[in-house]
Amino acid sequence: MYIKKTALLTIINLYLFTAAGAQDRSLPYGLAVNLLSQTGQVYVNGYPAVTPIENAVSQRENFQFTEISTRKPFFGWMLPSGRKNTLQTAYRLLVASGRDFLLKDSADLWDSGKVEESCSVNIPYNGEPLEPGKVYFWKVKTWDHHGEESGFSELSAFKTSEILTDYATDRYPIRKQDEYPVKIDRMDEMRYFADFGKASFGRIRMNLYSDNGMDSVTIHLGEAEKNGGVNRSPGGSVRYSLYKIGLEKGWKTYVVTVRPDTRNTGPQAVRMPEYIGEVIPFRYCEIENYRHPVQEKDLIRETAFYPFNDLDSYFHSADTLLNRVWDISKYSIKATSFAGVYIDGDRERIPYEADALINQLSHYCVAGDYSMARYTHEYLIGRPTWPTEWIMQSVLMAWEDYMYTGNKLSLTYFYEDLKAKTLTALSDEKGFISTRTGKMTPEVLQSVHFNGQLRDIVDWPHTGILGLEKEEGGETDGFVFTDINTVVNAFHYRALTLMAQIAGVLGKTEDKMFYDERAVTLRQSFNKHLFDKKRGVYIDGIGTDHASLHANMFPLAFGLVPQNRIDGVLKFIRSRGMACSVYGAQFLLDGLYDGGDAGYGLQLLTSTGERSWYNMIRAGSTITMEAWDNKYKPNQDWNHAWGTAPANLIPRKLMGIEPLEPGFRKIRIKPQPGPLESAEIKHPTIRGDVSVSFTNNPGHSFRLEVNIPANTTADLYLPFYSGKQILHVNGQPVKHKREGNFSVIEDIGSGIWNVFVKLNE
């Protein structure tokens, strides 16, 4: 049962002081090197070990480490604060070759001294040269504008890699975790059926007994259940596998070695590291021809995943269905991280830009990690896929990386690649780009690192492929492909606007002017040639009068629709329903919330129709699926993280938490609850956790509670009811401004704030 008035502080305390990573919040905490916060953790074959990192390195045994591969790494921390409106004014950072130096508050490699600086992230190393293959230690202390000087943080350690370079994106090792069934049923005298509760990527380890060493058991592993057992023919790419084991006499432990699949272990696929071994997604395990009792601890699933703290994020609302959609979306990010790179599911295990952008945004919102997103984005720059729009999504990913981390090193290193990825080389005098007008030269393809031909995609799958019959006409809403494609050019506009901002960040003044001018030209042409004024909708392209959902939702999501046309475009979008794929739903919901239609956004998020996230749960999957249902993609899999859009839409749009300035230096908190009565969330950021809760009486009153981390400020958005409304912060009237349908309070500092707005009737 949901309590409308949330005990927000209790929830915050639960997460801050739980044994999973509790730290002294009176000192700088959350210490990170190159965006990685667990650099001192040692692993043995993927399992966390308690061995000090310097001992593990010297022993040269089968350990895994997070390795820092740059000559000048960058540091970050979270600022302690027991008071409101806390901002850092200075820091002192020590880096040493041994713990003993730091225990004496000294350093043999770098003592920054007291640096008068407000930044607490992306601080570059400026000490003696680091050596390859060595362990180093560091700590930091801070001063704030209240005049408070913190103590030094706890010591943190990192190991350098054997080869150091000027730029690289470092990652954690893949880790393992032992999991036990939530239920074991004895089907008959010789069969057991175990349910692990959720599917994950791993392998099975079993403790089994044989009287004489002559027994042979059959193991069935699968993602789907049928008639109380593992579904032997689940269809599509839903996984099922069978293994036979000959038992030795007495009690023995057996590990099922997963057979490699030729499709997802090929040259383009991301391979598993040797210390993890091959894995398969499964939830269920069925044992045949085994007569002895099976206890919970006899079956162990060795689950593989990128380091992930379940307590980094939290969401709960008055809508139980929305809560379930959040749960499956959040868990999917963890479960599909097993390869250390965002892949397209188990069928191919290949990164695609379309998957990676959604994964990236969702990962940011549910876990305090930025390395997997950056690594995947950079991986795809040199290994792009074939759709025209997805080439340009590299620019979108680069910008999101910068906004969430505040770190511009990746932008700098890949700047020329990002310029090419805008596909400006394909543009005409009106600013439109096309892959079908003879401009797709070998030089253009080489500039984006693609060996093949680019093709427009719009959405996937298209009509008439993958076993789709005419009555299931693909996921493009009947989109008519022409030389000048509306969706492709909406992506191009978004890439141009972001490339202009990237150029500005890097001080490339001429480039910024160029991309700004190209964006203005394209926007004018787009609204002149692709908008049907009579119907009030965007058409699919020049040369057709067909108007699809996609030709309207992408312009809305990317800021191409003038304010006076938004209502008409929204009306058309509502008339089309969810006539897009799981991938397209990300942009549909982004457009709806940005266009101000939170009610319809909530309706789609909580839909129980066939095209809904709830349908994935109803079908039996515990990880988001590649498609809404098998009928829309007959070869779909049940472990596709491009279905996790709610994991970022709920925090970013419904709860309204987004960075206004890079690295969350400033935060926008703009809830758009629609009719939702109440909700609460915890969102990790690079500067600390943001907590938000609200109670909502639509049209009458709205109460917002926020906890903002130190060294940030925030703009708070509440409903605007009328000029006579009452608006209080912590019980006191406060100045605010009107922005459309919102009342905006600017530059709120860190701490806990209770904001209330009420219609004065």
pLDDT digit string, tens, across residues 662-707 = 999 999 999 999 999 999 999 999 999 999 999 999 999 999 999 9
What is the per-residue pLDDT across 54-75, written as a single tens digit (0 to 9) for each?
A: 999 988 778 999 999 999 999 9
Q: What is the pLDDT of residue 761?
A: 72
Q: What is the pLDDT of residue 13?
A: 39
Please check whether residue 5 lies inside any domain of the structure. Answer: no
Please report which confidence band the pLDDT of residue 24 belongs to, taking 50, 70 and 90 as the band edges. low
Q: Give the tokens for residue 567.
A: 């209502």
For residue 717, the surrounding DSSP H or E stretch is strand 713-719
Number of neighbours of residue 112 by Cβ within 10 angstroms: 19
Q: What is the pLDDT of residue 602?
A: 98
Q: What residues does 255 pair with on adjacent strands?
A: 205
Helix (H, G, I), strand (E, B) or coil at 292: coil
Residue 183's domain spans which residues? Answer: 175-305
Q: Which residues have C-beta within 8 Å of that of residue 442, sequence separation ≥ 6? A: none
Q: What is the pLDDT of residue 15?
A: 39
CATH number at 325 reads: 1.50.10.10
Please check whether residue 66 lies inside any domain of the structure. Answer: yes
Please check whether residue 13 lies inside any domain of the structure. Answer: no
Report d(CA 320, CA 644) in Å as an integer. Answer: 18
Please check whether residue 471 lies inside any domain of the structure. Answer: yes
What is the per-residue pLDDT across 121-134, written as a single tens digit (0 to 9) for each?
A: 999 999 999 999 99
Q: What residues does 143 pair with on adjacent strands?
A: 90, 149
Picking from 20, 93, 96, the residue whose alpha carbon sits closest to that of residue 54 is: 96
For residues 640-664, give the mean pLDDT. Answer: 98
> Residues 406, 517: one domain?
yes
**How are beta strands 250-255 and 191-210 bridged, if at all?**
antiparallel
Domain boundary among 611, 631, 654: 654
CATH number at 696 reads: 2.60.420.10
Please report which confidence band the pLDDT of residue 3 belongs to, taking 50, 70 and 90 as the band edges. very low
Reply yes or no on whether the pLDDT at 10 is more than 80.
Answer: no
With contact defined as beta carbons under 8 Å apart, do 255 and 213 qualify? no
For residues 299-313, give the mean pLDDT. Answer: 97
Helical H segments across 206-258, by residue range: none
Report d(CA 622, CA 490) in Å as an integer. Answer: 34
CATH number at 93 reads: 2.60.40.10
Burial of 496 (0-12, 13-18, 19+ CB in 10 A): buried
Report d(CA 27, CA 29) in Å as an integer. Answer: 6
Picking from 63, 66, 59, the residue whose alpha carbon sits closest to that of residue 40 is: 66
Q: Give the tokens for residue 379.
A: 């991986």
> Residues 82, 113: one domain?
yes
Picking from 430, 592, 581, the residue whose alpha carbon sits closest to that of residue 518 is: 430
Q: What is the pLDDT of residue 94?
A: 98
Q: Count Cβ neighbours within 10 Å for each residue of 715-753 and write b for 16 or more, e otherwise.
A: bbbbbbbeeebebebeeeeeebeeeeebbbbeebbbbeb
Please report which confidence band the pLDDT of residue 471 belongs to, taking 50, 70 and 90 as the band edges. low
> Residues 380, 521: one domain?
yes
What is the per-residue pLDDT across 705-736, written as a single tens digit (0 to 9) for each?
A: 999 999 999 999 999 999 889 999 999 999 99
Report d(CA 417, CA 707) in Å as an integer. Answer: 39
What is the per-residue pLDDT across 211-236, written as a single tens digit (0 to 9) for each?
A: 999 999 999 999 999 999 999 999 99
Domain boundary among 305, 334, 361: 305
> Residues 579, 649: one domain?
yes
What string of H, E and C letters represents the secondary structure of 479-538?
Answer: CCCCCCEHHHHHHHHHHHHHHHHHHHHCCCHHHHHHHHHHHHHHHHHHHHHCEECCCCEE
Q: Across all residues in the chain, what is the average pLDDT? A: 94
Q: What residues does 755 pair with on adjacent strands?
A: 704, 729
Number of neighbours of residue 312 by Cβ within 10 angstroms: 19
Reply yes or no on whether the pLDDT at 617 is more than 80.
Answer: yes
Q: What is the pLDDT of residue 11?
A: 41
> Residues 599, 676: one domain?
no
For residues 313-340, give the mean pLDDT. Answer: 98
Query: Could you tell me the CA-to-CA distances from 29 to 95, 269, 488, 675 in Å, in that order?
Result: 16, 37, 44, 38
> Residues 332, 474: one domain?
yes
Reply yes or no on whether the pLDDT at 492 is more than 50.
Answer: yes
Report d(CA 360, CA 342) in Å as an integer. Answer: 8
Please check whether residue 344 lies inside any domain of the structure. Answer: yes
Highest mean pLDDT among 5-19, 261-275, 652-666: 652-666
Query: Could you tell me the CA-to-CA distances from 451 to 13, 379, 382, 386 in Å, in that order?
Result: 53, 16, 11, 9
Please check whether residue 11 lies inside any domain of the structure. Answer: no
Report d(CA 189, CA 193) in Å as an integer. Answer: 12
Q: What is the pLDDT of residue 463?
A: 85
Q: What is the pLDDT of residue 632?
A: 92
> Residues 417, 442: one domain?
yes
Which DSSP string corresponds to 343-408?
-S-TTT----HHHHHHHHHHHHHHSS--HHHHHHHHHHHHS--SBHHHHHHHHHHHHHHHHHH---
> Is the link from the previous residue into 555 a cis peptide, with omega within 30 of 0?
no
For residues 646-666, give the mean pLDDT. Answer: 98
> Residues 604, 712: one domain?
no
Reply yes or no on whether the pLDDT at 8 is more than 60.
Answer: no
Report d(CA 723, CA 725) in Å as an integer. Answer: 6
Reply yes or no on whether the pLDDT at 324 is more than 80.
Answer: yes
Q: What is the pLDDT of residue 467?
A: 59
Q: What is the pLDDT of residue 679?
A: 98
For residues 605-629, give the mean pLDDT. Answer: 97
Query: Could you tell me the CA-to-CA distances from 14 to 1, 162, 170, 369, 753 in Å, in that order?
Result: 19, 40, 31, 21, 19
Q: What is the pLDDT of residue 21?
A: 42
Q: What is the pLDDT of residue 5?
A: 38
> Residues 234, 322: one domain?
no
Helix (H, G, I), strand (E, B) or coil at 409: helix
Please check whether residue 16 lies inside any domain of the structure. Answer: no
Q: What is the pLDDT of residue 2?
A: 33
For residues 33-46, give the mean pLDDT. Answer: 96
Reply yes or no on whether the pLDDT at 200 is more than 80.
Answer: yes
Please check whether residue 2 lies inside any domain of the structure. Answer: no
Domain boundary among 265, 284, 305: 305
The total number of structural domains in the chain stands at: 4
Q: What is the pLDDT of residue 472?
A: 65
Report d(CA 66, CA 56) in Å as an integer. Answer: 12
Please report which confidence band the pLDDT of residue 469 belongs to, taking 50, 70 and 90 as the band edges. low
Reply yes or no on whether the pLDDT at 516 is more than 80.
Answer: yes
> Residues 241, 388: one domain?
no
> Residues 382, 478: one domain?
yes
Site of tokens 């001429």: 510
CATH number at 296 reads: 2.60.120.260
Number of neighbours of residue 374 by Cβ within 10 angstroms: 26
> Residues 186, 251: one domain?
yes
What is the per-residue pLDDT across 80-134, written as a single tens digit (0 to 9) for each?
A: 888 999 999 999 999 999 999 999 999 999 999 999 999 999 999 999 999 999 9
What is the per-residue pLDDT across 364-381, written as a single tens digit (0 to 9) for each?
A: 999 999 999 999 999 999
Picking from 177, 167, 151, the residue whose alpha carbon sits closest to that of residue 28 is: 151
Q: What is the pLDDT of residue 26?
A: 86
* Radius of gyration of the chain, Cα coordinates, nearest whole angstrom: 27
Question: What percent of the chain is modeled with pLDDT above 70?
Answer: 96
Strand ranges inside 262-347, DSSP E? 280-288, 299-305, 314-317
Helix (H, G, I), strand (E, B) or coil at 582: helix
Q: What is the pLDDT of residue 7?
A: 41
